[in-house]
Each structure stands twice: as structure tokens, then as C-alpha cells.
């Protein structure tokens, strides 16, 4: 592995560490703010790998985290969820490079819908059972070792948060915290 590839993977690993920490935040707003920082690192990582659909899709994830973590009421509405999902679909169309392009977009649409339920349990379910499996396949194909680590660490973090906070306690819709 070349020095530049190691650096690219290191940038992704910083994103991994931040994403892990995000699920240890009890409040959704804090979770989305930490994920915002994680997505900035992942966007850079994927674009340097040449994984354009994944990279651009992460830019939209960054916007999503800004919206969900904001105090601006409209940013946390279903209308904004629809806008973000449409941006993901536009990304798919513009960056289309075959069926592989479907993976990050479908994953991120699932996470977007999960996030906009404002329900910590649904956020984690979307992450564990839709987002993560799709990203794992994508990461393998594009050579993102940091992405694979991120999915493994994120899944462990989500399970830890379920144990820490309790499955019942995570079924509460949060308002404008």
C-alpha cells in the first residue's frame, strides 16, 4: 500500500472514530452534530478513492446531519427529508457508474428516513439493517478499508448504545432539543 493510499485510509479512519462516538450521544441533536464531522472526513476519503457516488452522497449526509442537528424547525421536517432524498436520487443520476451507484444512495436514503423519524430506535434499526450492509458491499468494491472499519465499529457502537440506553428507552420520539 502506497503512502498516499495510507493517508487516504487514515482520513477515513478519523471519520470512523467520530461516527463511533456519535452513537454514544444520548440526544439526537448531539448524535447528528458528531456525524456531521464524521461525514466531512468520509467525503474526503471517498472522493480521494475515486468513489464519486459515495463521496457526493456523503456531502448530502453532511447536509442531513446539519439539518437534523439544527434548531431550525423546517430543517427537521418531513419536507426536508423529501428534499434530501431527492438530492440523493439526483446524485445517483448524475454520478451513475452502474449498479454499484445504487448502494450508497439506497443506504443513505434509508438512514435519512430513519433520522427523520426522530426516533432513536428507528435510527439504529435503519443503520444496522439497511445502511450498514449496503455500505459494506460498496466499501469492499471501492477499496475503502476505513469504510469497512467504520461499518464494523458503527454496528458495535449502535449495539452498545442499545445496551446502555435500553431498547425501550430508545423508542421515544425526540422533539426540538
Residue in 39, 30, 19, 26 with CA at minimum distance from that of residue 120: 26
- Split at pLDDT 50, 70, 90, the class of 175 is low
Grid cell locating 32: 447528528
**Can you tell me the mean pLDDT for 99-105?**
98
pLDDT of residue 176: 45
Q: Do 15 and 38 meet the contact criterion of CB atoms below 8 Å apart?
A: yes
pLDDT of residue 18: 92
Which pLDDT tens digit goes with each residue over 145-174? Answer: 999 998 898 899 889 989 988 888 888 776
Q: What are phi and psi of 152, to 5 degrees?
A: -65, -45
Task: Give residues with Cβ within 8 angstroms of 72, minimum separation 6.
Answer: none
Q: Where are the beta strands (DSSP E) in 43-103?
A: none
Q: For residues 38 and 24, give the distance between their C-alpha atoms in angstroms, rounded to a whole number.
A: 14
pTM above 0.85, yes or no: yes
Is the predicted pLDDT of residue 13 greater than 90, yes or no?
Answer: yes
Q: For residues 158 and 49, give the distance between their C-alpha atoms in angstroms, rounded to a whole number.
A: 27
- Split at pLDDT 50, 70, 90, the class of 177 is very low
Considering the chain, what is the average pLDDT of its residues? 92
Q: What are phi and psi of 33, to 5 degrees?
A: -70, -40
Task: Give residues with Cβ within 8 angstroms of 91, minimum separation 6.
Answer: 53, 56, 57, 60, 105
**Can you tell me the mean pLDDT for 103-127?**
95
Alpha-carbon distance values, 113 to 28, 52, 83, 88, 129 (Å)? 14, 22, 11, 12, 13
Amino acid at each position: 500500500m502506497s503512502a498516499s493510499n495510507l493517508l487516504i485510509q487514515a482520513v477515513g479512519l478519523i471519520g470512523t472514530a467520530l461516527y463511533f462516538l456519535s452513537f454514544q450521544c444520548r440526544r439526537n441533536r448531539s448524535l447528528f452534530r458528531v456525524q456531521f464531522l464524521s461525514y466531512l472526513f468520509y467525503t474526503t476519503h471517498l472522493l480521494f478513492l475515486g468513489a464519486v457516488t459515495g463521496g457526493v452522497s456523503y456531502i448530502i449526509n453532511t447536509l442531513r446531519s446539519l439539518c437534523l442537528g439544527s434548531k431550525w424547525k423546517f430543517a427537521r421536517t418531513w419536507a426536508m427529508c423529501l428534499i434530501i432524498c431527492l438530492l440523493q436520487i439526483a446524485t445517483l443520476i448524475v454520478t451513475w457508474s452502474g449498479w454499484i451507484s445504487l448502494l450508497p444512495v439506497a443506504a443513505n436514503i434509508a438512514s435519512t428516513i430513519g433520522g427523520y423519524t426522530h426516533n432513536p430506535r428507528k435510527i439504529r434499526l435503519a443503520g444496522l439493517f439497511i445502511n450498514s450492509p449496503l455500505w459494506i458491499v460498496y466499501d469492499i468494491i471501492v477499496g475503502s478499508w476505513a469504510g469497512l472499519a467504520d461499518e464494523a465499529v458503527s454496528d458495535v457502537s449502535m449495539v452498545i448504545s442499545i445496551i446502555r440506553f435500553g431498547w425501550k428507552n430508545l423508542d421515544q420520539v425526540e422533539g426540538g432539543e
